[in-house]
A and B are shown apart, each in its own frame.
Chain A
Amino acid sequence: MSNILRILFQRLALGLFTLFIVSLIIFMGITLLPGDAAEAMLGQSATPDTVAALRVQLGLDLPPHTRYFNWLLGALQGDFGTSVGSGQQISSLIGTRFANTLFLAIFAATIAVPLALILGILAALYRSSVYDRVVNVVTLASISMPEFFISYILILFVSVKAGWLPSLANVQTGVPFLVRLEMTLLPALALTLMSVAHMMRMTRASIINLLANPYIEMATLKGIKKARIITHHALPNAWAPIVNVIVLNLAYLIVGVVVVEVVFVYPGLGQLLVDSVQRRDLPVVQAACLIFAATYILLNLFADIISIVTNPRLLNPK
């Protein structure tokens, strides 16, 4: 057991280190951009003197490493500074937006993950059948289309032509849960279509890969039924790769929703990021990037942990 704890601790430390490196890259990237918050706030007509004065006021005249550590220390305490555009605290600005993004991601995941697993297991079970081919073609087709295209197609057919669901998902705070679900169903479906293919194909491939193992042949020669071989002999050994691709897709659902959020006018973190880039609101961009990176790293850490604790060799040492 101590072995597992050691591995988990190592992963955690590695995750933190990665996050640190990413924060450095984000900060350097933003610093390298031409212009800064002071220029953006004052607009093009500002005199060099007023810009310089504001820089001093914002602490932008300090050397980069001091600014970086100030920013990092603040971020660690949940303080990302203030937005250049609105003057609001970034942490409160991001809070609700991030909650919205998480809500959409979880909603999409509850549809996509079980769907992908079931489709994948069935595809492995009925390998090379008509079903297998149809599922493969359909999921591949949906992943091959750009997100905005799928989103607009859905809007066109589901909301404009059929009128079943609203085309905009501009939810406000205080909307009842069920209404919220209805409003976000369409973007959730768009995300599902984008992510199912990956997870389903990985599930199928992992299981088929495992079917070549001698212990699967042994199970067949023991007269075990095919369905049980898949669920009892292949699946328990396939979790590691499957969980990895699921988590990768969850990360995509949270981090990669920018386009979908913009199309459906959904007030998530992705839309905030796009708006802030347009407004040159660099502190907000910086904070959003850091949160995205942290989410990504955290989810991958989670995948690592799952694959460790589902490995009987590690769980039951000699």
Chain B
Amino acid sequence: MSSESDPLLLEISDLQVEGFSEDQWHEIVKGVDLTLKRGEVLGLIGESGAGKSTIGMAAMGYAKPGCRIKGGSIKFNGIELTTASEEEKRKLRGSRIAYVAQSAAASFNPAHKIINQFSETVIHHGLGNRKQAYADAKELYRRLKMPEPDQIGFRYPHQVSGGQLQRAMTAMALSCRPDLIIFDEPTTALDVTTQIEVLVTIRDIVRQYNTAAIYISHDLAIVAQMADRIKVLRYGDSVEESATRDMLSNPRENYTKTLWAVRTFKKTVKPPDPQPAALVKVDDITATYPGASLPVLSNVSLEIQRGETVAIVGESGSGKSTLAKVITGLLPQDKGQILYEGVGLSSKYRDRSSYHLQKIQMIYQMADTAMNPRHRVRDILGRPLKFFLNLRGNEKEKRLRELMEMIELDPDKFLDRLPSELSGGEKQRVCIARAIAAQPSFIICDEVTSALDQLVAEGILRLLDRLQQELNLGYMFITHDIATVNAIADKVVVMLQGQVVDQGAKDEVFAPPQHEYTKLLLTSVPEMDPEWMDRVLAERAAKGGMKAAGY
């Protein structure tokens, strides 16, 4: 055992982790080295499948079910975790090394109160009784700037918002004052305006207690705020590692450069139509979910023209997706009208004509769940061809191949695949082809790139843009990601709590932002600058803080 003064807290060398799937073991992590000093924060960055989370969990001597640590050494505080007994590792977990997961909503047990899940760790490791744990929890909740710190712990997880839960989980990780905390994408599931608040509290509390941390994220701009040092991973291997400032100013590897060279794509802005004619017009829509007392949308009006992309921006719960439901007729409105080429549409999709159903199509965020897993690509694309266009036999086959060419997938290779045999980007392409198959003139894209890695997402955006030019399509592009909006939008509609707070041409709305909420949204997007968070905080403090702005 080494002493507390040993500067090296964690030393991982030649770590190899394997996962079992399709009857064989695959390498997930291929010999990664990593060291961490006491009180130091290391950022792990990479795309999905880079092995970030796997390495983070391995630092606790843990491998997910179906995975195993195959080789290498993991030394925590001088203890070799690869050979330690389960009981030894159990005693370290929670007390010396703690974990903060991506989705706090899923990681809190729904059956127990938040504060009891906090105190459980303390009591279970024999570090205090319930009363002491409760007192400490309240103190930490206060330091993490949670509202009503003395009472909030006595609620159940589903009674607390995502941002507050994420703080509660950070508090839980701190309950035993561990030496090391693994933060696994702790803000990825949060809205941008909430994200910055949580990031600030995490950073401050880690500094206050001088806790070492591994901060895992796919977003370099966020890691840059949090980490002293950054390690870039790809395909389970390390690409490069250096101090945060050096990494940002002078990346050595090409792959690292591509990580922030993303969003190079920028749509060519067309001159505005001299005689604008609305393709789809949303006229003063108010809508309420069945059984709810308050409307989710109030007096929403906007217009989308042929060949134009209108981005709907807003945080979760702002009513973006609900608007899509009203336009497609899935949720009948209380008031107002949806017009397609000047013709009022029925509020229920069942009462709409086949022509209108065909002309308005939708693409979803989760390509996975939007396709029947047992249908082949041929069947998925074939259905709209048969249903809307009545194509059969050779004609259908010819059109299927055309569609595949349009989405840049080889028909010979892909037509007979199942969704499970496609990558995330390929699945989304098939979903796009399914929408195009109906020969629509208007497509609603609901967060279509949110579940994809940056480079893949960029490919999808380019594809959508090309299709728009070829087919003169109107897009309503729902997203919470400002970078995506910048890349693809002609016009922007900003929504907040079911209302349109700001809309207009992209440059009018964004450069510079006029409306307070648009400003808040834009300044909350992390920038590739380690000073960004401090700068924003200072600016907001100077203006009396964002709370004062009323959001």
Contact = CB atoms under 8 A, between A and B. Distances in A.
Nearest to A310: B111
A228 interface: yes
A48 B499 CA distance: 81
B52 to A, nearest CB: 16
Contacts of A317: 159
A313 interface: yes
Contact of A215 (B64, B93, B109): B109
A60 interface: no
Interface string B108-144: 1111100000001100110000000000000000000
B95 A223 contact: yes
B159 A318 contact: yes
Contacts of B93: 220-223
A219 interface: yes
B112 to A, nearest CB: 7
Contacts of A313: 110, 156, 158
Contact of B94 (A224, A312, A316, A318): A224
B62 A220 contact: yes
B159 A221 contact: no
A77 interface: no
B109 A221 contact: no
Nearest to B161: A318
A137 B109 CA distance: 33
Given A223-B121, A225-B124, A214 B90 contact: no
Interface string A195-229: 00000000000000000111101111111110010
B8 interface: no
A307 B60 CA distance: 36
Given A220-B62, A223-B94, A318-B158, A312 B111 contact: yes
Nearest to A228: B124
Contact of A222 (B106, B111, B121, B155): B121
A155 B95 CA distance: 57
B92 A223 contact: yes
Interface in B276-293: none
Contacts of B108: 215, 218
A220 B103 CA distance: 16
A316 B156 contact: yes
B107 interface: yes
B99 interface: yes
B110 A221 contact: no
A236 B110 CA distance: 9
A316 B111 contact: no
27 contacts: A214-B106, A215-B106, A215-B109, A218-B99, A218-B101, A218-B107, A219-B109, A220-B93, A221-B57, A221-B62, A221-B94, A221-B99, A222-B98, A222-B99, A222-B121, A223-B94, A223-B95, A223-B125, A224-B120, A224-B121, A225-B90, A232-B112, A233-B111, A236-B111, A316-B156, A316-B158, A318-B159
B106 A316 contact: no
A312 B106 CA distance: 14
A260 B443 CA distance: 64
Contacts of A217: 64, 101, 107
Given A223-B124, A312-B156, A214 B103 contact: yes
Contacts of B62: 220-221
A204 to B, nearest CB: 16
Given A220-B93, A317-B159, 5 more contacts: A212-B65, A215-B108, A217-B101, A222-B93, A316-B155
Contacts of B103: 214
Contact of A213 (B57, B106, B159): B106
B91 interface: yes
A316 B103 CA distance: 21
A128 to B, nearest CB: 12
B290 to A, nearest CB: 15
Interface of A: 212-215, 217-225, 228, 232-233, 236-237, 312-313, 316-318
Interface in B306-343: none
Contacts of A219: 109
Nearest to B173: A222
A58 B65 CA distance: 70
A313 B98 CA distance: 27
A225 B126 CA distance: 13
B48 to A, nearest CB: 17
A233 B157 CA distance: 14
A165 B159 CA distance: 56
A230 B101 CA distance: 20
A222 B120 contact: yes
A213 B121 CA distance: 18
Contacts of A212: 65
B159 A233 contact: no
A213 B111 CA distance: 13
A76 B91 CA distance: 63
Contact of B112 (A220, A225, A236): A236
A223 B124 CA distance: 8
Contacts of B57: 221
Interface string B172-192: 100000000000000000000
A223 B91 contact: yes
B109 A237 contact: yes
Contacts of A222: 93-94, 98-99, 120-121, 124, 172
Contact of A237 (B95, B111, B124, B156): B111
A87 B57 CA distance: 76
Contacts of A225: 90, 124
Contacts of A237: 109-111
B253 to A, nearest CB: 32
A316 B109 contact: no
Given A221-B62, A223-B125, A215 B90 contact: no
A312 B111 CA distance: 6
A316 B160 CA distance: 12
A145 B292 CA distance: 52
A160 to B, nearest CB: 50
A231 to B, nearest CB: 12
Nearest 7 interchain pairs by C-beta: A223-B94, A223-B93, A222-B94, A236-B111, A214-B106, A221-B99, A215-B109
Contacts of A214: 101, 103, 106-107
Kindly name the residue among B64, B121, B172 whose own CB sees the greatest number of chain A CB atoms within 10 A: B121
B110 A312 contact: yes
Nearest to B60: A221
A212 B66 CA distance: 11
Contacts of B172: 222
Contacts of B91: 223
B371 to A, nearest CB: 23
A154 B243 CA distance: 76
A105 B91 CA distance: 46
Contacts of B95: 223
